[in-house]
Amino acid sequence: MTSIRPTRDAGCAHLAAFAPRMGLRYAGGRNFDHGPQRHQHVSTLSPWLRRRLITEHEIVAHALAHHGPEAAEKFIQEVFWRGYFKGWLERRPGIWHSYRAGLTADLEALGKDRALAHQVAAAEDGSTGLACFDEWARELIETGYLHNHARMWFASIWIFTFGLPWRVGADFFLRHLLDGDPASNTLSWRWVAGLHTRGKTYQAQAWNIAKFTQGRFSPREADLAADAPALTETEPDGLPQVRPLRQPASPEASLPSVLLITEDDCCVQEFDLAAHNIRGAAALRASHLRSPRAVADHVAAFEEGALADAAARVPFEVETLRAGHPPDLARWAAKAGARQILTPYIPEGYLRDWLIKAAPALDAKGIRLAEWQRDWDRLIWPHATAGFFKVKKAIPEILQHAGLS
């Protein structure tokens, strides 16, 4: 995976190549993990999709065109899971803030507990002695990718077999996954731990691993936790209430503006740039914000390449900024004579946190942040109030409103 090109052209080519396999072949083979560089039964489109070098709308359109709604149903549902997780976190931003605060506390605890720190290091290095787990750890580090089934097994073993802090495991993924996304990553780990759907956990079982790796791994039952009781101590008071969706400030065409490109949406050419008085543009590098610990070089390189590719598709000269001291954003915009920063919607996550910290300096200079929000998100997020079923039930209606049926 580390050899894939972080460009829209590469993503579109990969999408076209996989489209014939988005139907019943995908539904029947998607749970099998054949190992590194052999993930032919799943799309592996996620590194491009995470940055919207290609979009959900495009992917679903390909699936429907090649297979129709019935044969492509399972593939389309998996695309919708990403939108569901994003919308769910938008409705409960406190979950992200709790994760970040808890991770800080967990890392501080590691600094004081040498035995625990040694266990975590062995898990991250792939030197626990449990062959399947160690192989997945090495694959993640070396390629920046893991099959989704392997991610579930890995998280379950991390939490229930080894008894390690779940947030440190989620952080390990976020620092190394090319498709690492604050919503999907955090909420998937919470789901395995029994925190997302209360009391429902995912238990890694030897027979399941042997079956879906086709014997590539055959752990003993005794190697794995005998049960997987849901975690409760991290959130004793339960989930926070569902909040109204954030309504971003809409762009004002008359204001002198600058364009900000981030890895959350690298198809900025699809927005109506010509309607605005744009006096400058920048690509914001922010992958280092993923974690207090070092982020993998291949993650930073993929972000850099994606931003450069996005910049090449807009009719402006684009400079590069690094998300460092938050007030620097206001100084950059003011230097260009801007009163407005235009950017695609920034969802809950580490970049949103950084922009919140930048807000006071922007306000002081009279600069507003305006965000374009895609129709895809507007259609899905209102349904993401509880479990995935509400979104799943609404898929036909959403596809119709999106012009895909």
Q: Residue 220 is which amino acid?
A: R
Q: Which of 125-139, 176-190, 239-253, 328-342 has the lowest mean pLDDT?
A: 239-253
Would you state the pLDDT for residue 366? Answer: 98
Mean pLDDT of 347-374: 98
Model confidence at 50, pLDDT cuts 50, 70, 90, reads very high
N residues, the chain: 405
Would you state the pLDDT for residue 199? Answer: 84
Three-state secondary-structure class, residue 71: helix
| Residues in Cβ contact with 134 at an 8 Å cutoff, skipping those fewer than 6 apart | 126, 127, 128
CATH 1.10.579.10 correct for 93-223:
yes
Mean pLDDT of 24-52: 97
Three-state secondary-structure class, residue 240: coil
Q: What sign has the CA pseudo-torsion 201, 207, 208, 210?
A: positive
Average pLDDT, the chain: 96
Spatial distance between the Cα atoms of 109 and 176, rounded to a whole number of angstroms: 22
Mean pLDDT of 69-82: 98
Q: Residue 232 is which amino acid?
A: T
In the DSSP assignment, the letter for residue 158 is I
182-219: pLDDT as tens digits: 999 999 999 999 999 888 999 999 999 999 999 999 99
**pLDDT greater than 70 at residue 343:** yes
Mean pLDDT of 14-43: 97
Q: Residue 187 is which amino acid?
A: L
Three-state secondary-structure class, residue 285: strand
Gyration radius from the chain CA atoms: 21
**pLDDT greater than 60 at residue 1:** no
**Torsions phi, psi for 279 (to 5 deg):** -110, 0
| Secondary-structure class of domain 8-90+379-401 per CATH | mainly alpha
Query: E-strand spans in 256-367?
Result: 256-261, 277-285, 318-322, 340-344
Q: Residue 385 is which amino acid?
A: T
Share of the chain above pLDDT 90, in %: 95
Candidate CATH numbers 3.40.50.1470, 3.40.50.620, 3.40.50.720, 3.40.50.300; the one for domain 256-373: 3.40.50.620
The partner residues of 341 in beta bridges, in order of sequence, read 258, 369
Contacts for 361-367: CB closer than 8 Å, 24+ residues apart: 361/326, 361/327, 361/329, 361/330, 361/331, 362/329, 362/330, 362/333, 364/330, 365/330, 365/333, 365/334, 366/339, 367/330, 367/333, 367/334, 367/338, 367/339, 367/340, 367/341
Spatial distance between the Cα atoms of 190 and 201, rounded to a whole number of angstroms: 9
Would you state the pLDDT for residue 285? Answer: 98
**pLDDT greater than 70 at residue 234:** no
Q: Residue 5: is it exposed, middle or buried by C-beta count within 10 angstroms (0-12/13-18/19+)?
A: middle
Cα–Cα–Cα angle for 78, 50, 94, nearest 5°? 85
H, E, C per residue of 97-157: HHHHHHHHHHHHHHHHCHHHHHHHHHHHHCCCCCHHHHHHHHHHHHHCCCCHHHHHHHHHH
- Boundaries of every domain in the chain: 8-90+379-401, 93-223, 256-373
Would you state the pLDDT for residue 378? Answer: 98
257-299: pLDDT as tens digits: 999 999 999 999 999 999 999 999 999 999 999 999 999 999 9
Would you state the pLDDT for residue 198? Answer: 84
Model confidence at 237, pLDDT cuts 50, 70, 90, reads low
**pLDDT greater than 50 at residue 220:** yes
Mean pLDDT of 21-39: 96
Spatial distance between the Cα atoms of 386 and 91, rounded to a whole number of angstroms: 10
Mean pLDDT of 244-267: 97
83-137: pLDDT as tens digits: 999 999 999 999 999 999 999 999 999 999 999 999 999 999 999 999 999 999 9
Would you state the pLDDT for residue 165? Answer: 97
Would you state the pLDDT for residue 16? Answer: 98
Which pTM value belongs to this model? 0.97
Q: What sign has the CA pseudo-torsion 47, 48, 50, 56?
A: negative
**pLDDT greater than 90 at residue 3:** no
